A and B are shown apart, each in its own frame.
Chain A
């Protein structure tokens, strides 16, 4: 079925809370005039475990890709520790199709700073490192300015807002490596090493940054914490779907009329996101395929989007996942073989090289995809790709291996005909390996 824009009525009247349309909200005075830092004051008047409890009750799940319940993650942190405890805020944002954390840095940096301080208070941390991808230098400067203003106003540093609680926030700039978004690679990167993921256990809450108890959360997750504490967990838990509630920043890119980042309650139908929020497809073309949550998530067929919603359960049932909610839309003319070749190249380039299945497998998948792209592949190559992807999946230290395998596996399962159209009618042995 081809859905036309007129088939869908505008249904929600959502008012943004993470990215409200307030001019100059990045300035501390404007932020405060709009209720900014009230959540922090409220938190400082609570017991730390009460703050964790509020976050648990809100139902907030991580926005960094795995949808892990945030309150539960926080409760893994030891209450007392002879070593310092650390928070890492993950702003590496390098998953292709993802451009949402950048909007928080630009339009609402204080919401992130406030959430960071609340998290530090709740888990008893005196230092937080906000890790930001190196290419975002412009946004690093915006956040640094906001941070300087927060320090000057007494919201960060020693004796925050007269409470006796002290915490420092530091920005750590990355230098171009997708793998550093993986939480243990991120910690190694902060420690001044190559960004190699670590074997788990130990988990970060036991031994993370410099061997100390550490929690890692995504930028958007932490920004949501401010909103939860300010408005209450009950209010928050009623936004969107009950098992995966809250406002979500959904990025839409590719073949749509109006690409961008949209804040909406979770559970929005993907078709509404495409046609209502992102303005439909140029030339009223049909949707051939959608990658719903960044390039690591499984691809979906365009004509099977009816009823699929942007939340963990619905996308799981549809055979994919929310990931970073960075939707890539491809119209009927898109060359999916080229798309997958580019994705394969990405994982090949970004594999850190520690694990053999990932290091070798990603090269093979890219080379074979190159053959399809150039119409040089043979029929057996489809199964060969499946075999390689299957041998990477689950056999690596970190999830980059899975992230490389899933797009290949899902594309072959759903669009096998696209591969078959591009094969040569000869046997494999007649073709030299590229």
Chain B
């Protein structure tokens, strides 16, 4: 299932840890980056690859918030609503996003382009309010900035 580049990555990772089990998180990350999410078949593949029971892999995938066993939108938006962000207006940003994308937290748009999720503190408390889209952080947000950002992404050619 893993492509050649990623298989080579996994082989390199084996040198870093004394056990195969320690590769569970790094390999699940590689799978998720390649496939977009971690399906049951992918979990079975990882289990076989590392010589572990499927149940172990399932247990790990369901434990960690960032590992997705279902597809997310192409642009997965996480909005921090924890205290520092709340005090600086994350509530209004969330409301606006819900309207603009016609999504509630936890939902994926029908065309699979967007998904929205409420997040715990993402370490941007000093630049609140904030959202993360994929790996990228967008900070010190205002309604106008959010509009501009979402519109730019919506228009981007790779869509």
B42-61: contact bitstring with A at CB < 8 Å (1 yes, 0 no)?
A: 00000000101000100110
B2-10, B63-71, B93-101, B150-158 - interface stretch: B63-71
Q: Does A95 contact B (CB under 8 A)?
A: yes
Whether the Cβ atoms of A339 and B86 lie closer than 8 Å is yes
Whether the Cβ atoms of A342 and B121 lie closer than 8 Å is no
Whether the Cβ atoms of A175 and B120 lie closer than 8 Å is no
Residues of A within 8 A of B59 (CB): 194
Q: Does B18 contact A (CB under 8 A)?
A: yes
Question: What is the CA–CA distance of A427 and B56 in the complex, to the nearest angstrom?
Answer: 47
Residues of A within 8 A of B25 (CB): 172-175, 189-190, 192
Whether the Cβ atoms of B123 and A339 lie closer than 8 Å is no
Residues of B within 8 A of A170 (CB): 16
The contact of A194 among B18, B50, B60, by CB within 8 Å, is B60
Whether the Cβ atoms of A191 and B22 lie closer than 8 Å is yes
Question: What is the CA–CA distance of A98 and B126 in the complex, to the nearest angstrom?
Answer: 9
Task: List the A residue with the shortest CB-CB distance to B134.
Answer: A137
B76-84, B106-114, B141-149 - interface stretch: B76-84
Residues of B within 8 A of A189 (CB): 25
Residues of B within 8 Å of A, CB-based: how many?
43
Q: A134-B66, A192-B24, A194-B60 are in contact. Are A95 and B121 (CB under 8 A)?
A: yes
B7-42: contact bitstring with A at CB < 8 Å (1 yes, 0 no)?
A: 000000000101101111110110000000000000
Residues of B within 8 A of A134 (CB): 29, 64, 66
Residues of A within 8 A of B84 (CB): 96-97, 253-254, 259, 328
Whether the Cβ atoms of A328 and B83 lie closer than 8 Å is yes
Whether the Cβ atoms of B121 and A175 lie closer than 8 Å is no
Task: List the A residue with the shortest CB-CB distance to B86.
Answer: A342
Whether the Cβ atoms of B83 and A342 lie closer than 8 Å is yes
Q: Does A74 contact B (CB under 8 A)?
A: no
Q: Does B103 contact A (CB under 8 A)?
A: no
Whether the Cβ atoms of B19 and A192 lie closer than 8 Å is yes
Question: What is the CA–CA distance of A76 and B132 in the complex, to the nearest angstrom?
Answer: 40
Whether the Cβ atoms of B120 and A99 lie closer than 8 Å is no
Task: List the A residue with the shortest CB-CB distance to B59.
Answer: A194
Task: List the B residue with the shortest CB-CB distance to A252.
Answer: B126
Whether the Cβ atoms of A259 and B127 lie closer than 8 Å is yes
Q: Does A330 contact B (CB under 8 A)?
A: yes
Shortest C-beta distance, B119 to chain A (Å), equals 8
Q: Does B102 contact A (CB under 8 A)?
A: no
Question: What is the CA–CA distance of A254 and B82 in the complex, to the nearest angstrom?
Answer: 11
Residues of A within 8 A of B116 (CB): none
Shortest C-beta distance, B141 to chain A (Å), equals 14
A364-394: contact bitstring with B at CB < 8 Å (1 yes, 0 no)?
A: 0000000000000000000000000000000
Whether the Cβ atoms of B137 and A178 lie closer than 8 Å is no
Whether the Cβ atoms of A177 and B64 lie closer than 8 Å is yes
Whether the Cβ atoms of B125 and A175 lie closer than 8 Å is no
Whether the Cβ atoms of B125 and A326 lie closer than 8 Å is yes
Q: Does A66 contact B (CB under 8 A)?
A: no
Residues of A within 8 A of B123 (CB): 93-94, 98-99, 102, 133, 135-136
Whether the Cβ atoms of B121 and A94 lie closer than 8 Å is yes
Question: What is the CA–CA distance of A102 and B122 in the complex, to the nearest angstrom?
Answer: 11
Which of B26, B63, B78, B83 counts the most A-chain CB atoms under 10 A from its CB? Answer: B83
Shortest C-beta distance, B129 to chain A (Å), equals 11
Whether the Cβ atoms of A194 and B124 lie closer than 8 Å is no
Whether the Cβ atoms of B18 and A254 lie closer than 8 Å is no
Shortest C-beta distance, A12 to chain B (Å), equals 20
A342-372: contact bitstring with B at CB < 8 Å (1 yes, 0 no)?
A: 1100100110100000000000000000000
Whether the Cβ atoms of B18 and A97 lie closer than 8 Å is no
Question: What is the CA–CA distance of A176 and B78 in the complex, to the nearest angstrom?
Answer: 12
Q: Does B1 contact A (CB under 8 A)?
A: no
Q: A138-B137, A170-B16, A259-B125 are in contact. Are A175 and B66 (CB under 8 A)?
A: yes
Task: List the A residue with the shortest CB-CB distance to B80.
Answer: A96
Shortest C-beta distance, B83 to chain A (Å), equals 5
Whether the Cβ atoms of A172 and B65 lie closer than 8 Å is no
Residues of A within 8 A of B18 (CB): 84, 210
Question: What is the CA–CA distance of A252 and B127 in the complex, to the nearest angstrom?
Answer: 10
Question: What is the CA–CA distance of A252 and B137 in the complex, to the nearest angstrom?
Answer: 19
Question: What is the CA–CA distance of A295 and B84 in the complex, to the nearest angstrom?
Answer: 10
Whether the Cβ atoms of A99 and B16 lie closer than 8 Å is no
Shortest C-beta distance, B128 to chain A (Å), equals 6
Task: List the A residue with the shortest CB-CB distance to B27.
Answer: A192
Q: Does B88 contact A (CB under 8 A)?
A: yes
Residues of B within 8 A of A192 (CB): 19, 21-25, 50, 52, 60
Shortest C-beta distance, B109 to chain A (Å), equals 22
Residues of B within 8 A of A97 (CB): 83-84, 121, 125
Q: Does A193 contact B (CB under 8 A)?
A: yes
Q: Does A261 contact B (CB under 8 A)?
A: yes
Q: List 7 A-B pairs, Cβ < 8 Å.
A: A98-B123, A134-B66, A175-B65, A193-B21, A195-B64, A254-B88, A291-B83
Task: For the A-B complex with A97-B121, A339-B83 known, give 4 more contacts whose Cβ atoms are closer than 8 Å.
Answer: A172-B25, A173-B29, A192-B19, A339-B86
Q: Using CB atoms and an 8 Å cutoff, list the residues of chain A in contact with chain B.
A: 84, 93-99, 102, 133-138, 168, 170, 172-178, 189-195, 210, 251-255, 259-261, 291, 295, 326, 328, 330, 334, 338-339, 342-343, 346, 349-350, 352
* Top 8 A-B residue pairs of the complex, sorted by shortest distance between their CB atoms: A176-B65, A192-B24, A176-B66, A175-B64, A253-B125, A253-B84, A96-B121, A192-B21
